[in-house]
Structure 1
């Protein structure tokens, strides 16, 4: 009999669930590409402890374990991870909001167009990847070069809170095949944006060095494409890409909480 090996989750990167007040909203918090649920934990703790919300932070398939797992996962697998968490939360709350960071924000926007949610909070969402002919052939090219070094090799590059940067958990490289899957996901995102019919909050930082095509371009393209008229955009300064852990995180958490309370009120 073949033994199935299970890759352990990286310590500190476990998914989380905080059970809130019975009639309070629930918030689904989605981490980013090559990241972990730890990126969203502080936000979940804030919304739970200060507002009484139920918060769930799933681990996207292939993440927070090993690069081999990441290379085997697809954007369909990441979507399944979000959908499973959504239904877990919906069983425990009357109202669901969906929030995400980076690729997690793209997933939040995508699912906000197709699932019954009360509102969307998208933080540092990409809109597209730079135009590159190799994106169509990542599965083939990944057999030659499976891993790509991250653009900023210094893990503290682009961060304002250096202690938070040193404590951050993510993969050291970008799997080339996964970049192709991200590109496919962003194509689905662009198709979905006009179908969003719920209140949507976009949060970006003008000091974000990691977002493909730049934060203001992504923010404005997404904002213009969203179908609903109930949409807001906020451009911060003094924070890097990981808005939920960098120096302006408290401002991000408070802004998200106020957005939810306004919609509930």
Structure 2
């Protein structure tokens, strides 16, 4: 826990990953006096079959549970999410009272955009598919950080259909977002291209304020890759500016 007079931070990891993805950012913010909670989304951080059984509504419920836990220790809450965590952050800011949103490496769409019905059919016969075309870890600049990453090795096909549903929910919600928003993306992200940030930014027509930052020297997982310190400091600066120090 941090100082009750300051806002608290809810941290949400990405698709197939675990809370470890957000841990260093949470520790950094906590050193500056902010109470932080890194949640584990349903079906993550255990075994891949648990994820196959999870629905996108379960992930929404995980965020709601974490939010209400934090409301017990702070009156004001920032939501900070990476990738699918960014999707959830933006969506849930229209359903919960939040001080601001930091959405990092967030998709507006998926690289291989198969229809939901097809993914559900394929998922019956083929549970898992590779994460990308390249060698695992090839998109990372910090190979030590990649080796320590806790994530399922492949993408569950059924879960990709759920992620697509979540993206559609987020797209519908973006014009309703009123909280201040910080968007960050690496220009070197080969998994979710930086143009995704531009599309999200353009759709945030009613946000109190919107800021977009492009970084370099990092892959998709900007909270753990080589440029992470720049990410931490930018998120802190956003929270201090929008939420004040007390």
Q: Same fold (TM over 0.5)?
A: yes
Q: CA deviation at 1:137?
A: 2.5
SS of corresponding position for 2:125: coil
State which of 39, 43, 57 in structure 2 corresponds to 1:62.
43
Match of 2:62 in 1: 81
Which runs of no fewer than 5 residues in structure 1 stay unpaired? 1-18
Q: CA deviation at 1:237?
A: 0.6
Rounded Cα–Cα distance in structure 1 between residues aligned with 2:98 and 2:243: 12
Rounded Cα–Cα distance in structure 2 between residues aligned with 1:154 and 1:231: 35
Match of 1:263 in 2: 242
Q: CA deviation at 1:136?
A: 2.2
Give the number of the structure with larger relative contact order, counting CA–CA contacts within 8 Å between residues 6 or more apart: 2
Rounded Cα–Cα distance in structure 1 between residues aligned with 2:24 and 2:113: 36
* Residues 152/165 of structure 1: CA separation in 2 closer, same or farther (3 Å cut): farther
Q: CA deviation at 1:23?
A: 1.0
Q: Superposition pairs for residues 41-52 of structure 1, below 5 Å?
A: 41-49=23-31, 51-52=32-33
Which runs of no fewer than 5 residues in structure 2 stay unpaired? none
Given that 1:79 and 1:107 are in contact with CA atoms closer than 8 Å, whether structure 2 keeps it comes out as: yes
Quick check: 1:154 aligned with 2:135?
yes
SS of corresponding position for 2:42: coil
Match of 2:155 in 1: 174
Match of 1:32 in 2: 14
Match of 1:23 in 2: 5
Q: CA deviation at 1:133?
A: 4.6
Q: CA deviation at 1:143?
A: 1.1
Rounded Cα–Cα distance in structure 1 between residues aligned with 2:111 and 2:138: 21
**Structure 1 length-normalised TM:** 0.89
**Structure 2 length-normalised TM:** 0.96
Q: Number of residue pairs matched?
A: 243
State which of 216, 222, 226 in structure 2 corresponds to 1:247.
226
Given that 2:111 and 2:191 are in contact with CA atoms closer than 8 Å, whether structure 1 keeps it comes out as: no
Q: CA deviation at 1:255?
A: 0.5
Rounded Cα–Cα distance in structure 2 between residues aligned with 1:259 and 1:27: 12
Given that 1:155 and 1:165 are in contact with CA atoms closer than 8 Å, whether structure 2 keeps it comes out as: no
Q: Superposition pairs for residues 103-114 of structure 1, below 5 Å?
A: 103-114=84-95
* Residues 55/127 of structure 1: CA separation in 2 closer, same or farther (3 Å cut): same
SS of corresponding position for 1:85: helix
* Residues 147/26 of structure 1: CA separation in 2 closer, same or farther (3 Å cut): same
Which stretch of the first structure deviates more once superposed, 175-184 or 137-146? 137-146
Rounded Cα–Cα distance in structure 2 between residues aligned with 1:203 and 1:136: 31
Q: CA deviation at 1:157?
A: 0.9
RMSD over aligned Cα, in angstroms? 1.2
Match of 1:186 in 2: 167
